[in-house]
């Protein structure tokens, strides 16, 4: 082998190894990528529960286009409304329903194990603002024969 | 004559009472858990959803579940992205799945008496816009004013237009996945 050929082989090997490391690292990162931290991500929209419900009831297709993402990392919203109900789901997470008496549907906000404690101070009738990620919109379901609420998860109170 | 008018008024009162008895309302549950479980020799995958809404009509046995698909939560973020994506469940286009069925033996289930009853459910399941018939079994547990429903059944992903022919999804996701449904209803 001439020195020139040796050099080419050496450079080739270095490039190959670097490529493999970057590629492997990317695959590993992608595979173990953490979930998006909703509370540490800035909000996309800030609006009232009434406004959000109205948008969905008036034009569900437009609202879905505006708020839902293909990969499930949908818009992060800050929603202001009146607390109508506080409950708990099967996962021990607090669920706060924001709904005005005059509205047909509300916004159901599920908290997390970490943010649950912030719900203990709030009461039905209070006006609060909650930040979370939207999962689905409000609509009238003819089979349930009732209005379904907007679903928000990974919620926390906005101070 | 007096007797007749008495009889008529009694009948009228009884009829009035019946007429004003409100129909037995639907039971509503927003406390639900739906689990998706896939087993292959490569790995086990599961996802949980706590945000579905369900109703049962005790008079007809009609049962409905409406499932917000983006609420399924996976251990790995990448899996969740794939699940939501166009190739898998396309949740932006189809944000909700629905189970619409009938408890065919509702007459044998006494929702006012504590106990565990077997329920036979027949109906339709709609996922990703595709509707298929289902026939499954579940249990109804009545305890005080709480009614809990549970069911475990399998679905074939290809039935709903979810097919993987190559790559990791094809080897890591089972062709048949197990669905566990749990819901708690409050009676008035």
Q: Do B51 and A108 touch (CB under 8 A)?
A: yes
Taking alpha carbons only, the member of B83, B89, B146 closest to residue B112 is B146
Provide the ipTM: 0.85
Does B166 reside within a domain? yes
Going from the C-alpha of B155 to that of each of A45, B15, B86, B186, the distances in angstroms are 37, 49, 19, 29
Does A39 reside within a domain? no
Q: How many domains does chain B have?
A: 1
Does A5 reside within a domain? yes
Domain extent for B58: 24-186
Are A55 and A111 found together in one domain?
Answer: yes
Query: What's the CATH code of the domain at A139?
Result: 2.40.50.140
- Mutation choice for A interface testing from B69, B81, B90, B102 by most A CBs within 10 A: B81
B10 — pLDDT class (breaks 50, 70, 90): low
Q: To the nearest whole number, what is the mean pLDDT of chain A? A: 95
Query: What's the CATH code of the domain at B80?
Result: 2.40.128.110
Dist. CA B138–CA B158, nearest whole Å: 24
Domain extent for A19: 1-33
Residue B71 is classified by DSSP as G
Structure token pair of residue A87: 């409950």
Are A15 and A60 found together in one domain?
Answer: no
Q: How many domains does chain A have?
A: 2
Are A17 and A78 found together in one domain?
Answer: no
Does A140 reside within a domain? yes
> What number of CA atoms fall less than 13 Å from residue B141's CA on the CB side?
8
Are A100 and A23 found together in one domain?
Answer: no
Are A26 and A92 found together in one domain?
Answer: no
Q: CA of A65: which chain B residue's CA is closest?
A: B92
Question: Has residue B114 got a pLDDT over 50?
Answer: yes
Are A18 and A85 found together in one domain?
Answer: no
**pTM listed for this prediction:** 0.85
Are A136 and A113 found together in one domain?
Answer: yes
User: pLDDT tens across A41-67, in order?
Assistant: 999 999 999 999 999 999 999 999 999
User: pLDDT tens across B19-68, in order?
Assistant: 544 445 899 999 999 999 999 999 999 999 999 999 999 999 999 999 99
Q: CA of A149: which chain B residue's CA is closest?
A: B53
Taking alpha carbons only, the member of B185, B107, B99, B188 closest to residue B141 is B185
Going from the C-alpha of B128 to that of each of A6, B65, B147, B169, B179, the distances in angstroms are 57, 15, 30, 18, 16
Does B54 reside within a domain? yes
Estimate to the nearest angstrom the gap between the alpha carbon of B45 and the chain centroid. Answer: 22
DSSP three-state, residue B148: strand
CB atoms within 10 A of CB A36: 16
Are A24 and A51 found together in one domain?
Answer: no
Taking alpha carbons only, the member of A149, A112, A152, A116 closest to residue A131 is A152
Q: Do B26 and A145 touch (CB under 8 A)?
A: yes
Residues 90..149 of B with a Cβ closer than 8 Å to A: which? 90-92, 95-96, 98, 100
Cβ neighbourhood burial of A39 (10 Å; 0-12, 13-18, 19+)? middle
């Amino acid at each position: 082998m001439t020195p020139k050929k040796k050099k080419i082989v050496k450079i080739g090997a270095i490039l190959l190894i670097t490529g493999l490391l970057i590629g492997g690292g990317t695959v590993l990162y992608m595979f173990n990528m953490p979930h998006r931290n909703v509370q540490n991500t800035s909000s996309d929209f800030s609006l009232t529960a009434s406004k959000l419900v109205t948008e969905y009831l008036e034009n569900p297709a437009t609202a879905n286009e505006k708020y839902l993402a293909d990969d499930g990392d949908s818009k992060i919203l800050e929603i202001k409304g009146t607390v109508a109900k506080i409950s708990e789901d099967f996962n021990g997470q607090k669920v706060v329903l924001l709904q005005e008496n005059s509205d047909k549907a509300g916004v159901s906000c599920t908290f997390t194990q970490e943010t649950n404690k912030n719900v203990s101070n709030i009461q039905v009738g209070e006006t609060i603002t909650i930040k979370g990620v939207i999962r689905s919109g409000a609509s009238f379901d003819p089979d349930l024969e009732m209005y379904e609420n907007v679903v928000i998860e990974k919620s926390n109170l906005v101070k | 004559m007096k007797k007749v008018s008495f009889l008529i008024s009694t009948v009228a009162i009884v009829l009035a009472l019946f007429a004003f008895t409100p129909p037995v309302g639907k039971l509503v549950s927003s406390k639900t858990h739906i689990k998706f479980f896939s087993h292959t020799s490569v790995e086990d995958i599961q996802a949980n959803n706590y945000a579905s809404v369900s109703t049962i009509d005790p008079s007809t046995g009609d049962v409905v579940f409406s499932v917000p698909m983006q609420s399924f939560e996976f251990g790995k973020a990448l899996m969740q992205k794939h699940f939501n994506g166009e190739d898998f469940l396309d949740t932006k286009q189809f944000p909700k799945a629905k189970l619409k069925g009938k408890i065919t033996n509702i007459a044998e289930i006494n929702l006012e008496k504590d106990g565990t009853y077997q329920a036979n459910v027949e109906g339709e399941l709609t996922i990703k816009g595709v509707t298929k018939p289902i026939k499954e079994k579940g249990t109804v547990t009545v305890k005080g004013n709480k009614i809990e429903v549970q069911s475990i059944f399998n679905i074939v992903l290809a039935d709903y237009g979810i097919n993987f022919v190559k790559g990791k999804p094809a080897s890591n996701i089972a062709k048949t996945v197990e669905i566990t449904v749990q819901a708690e209803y409050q009676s008035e």
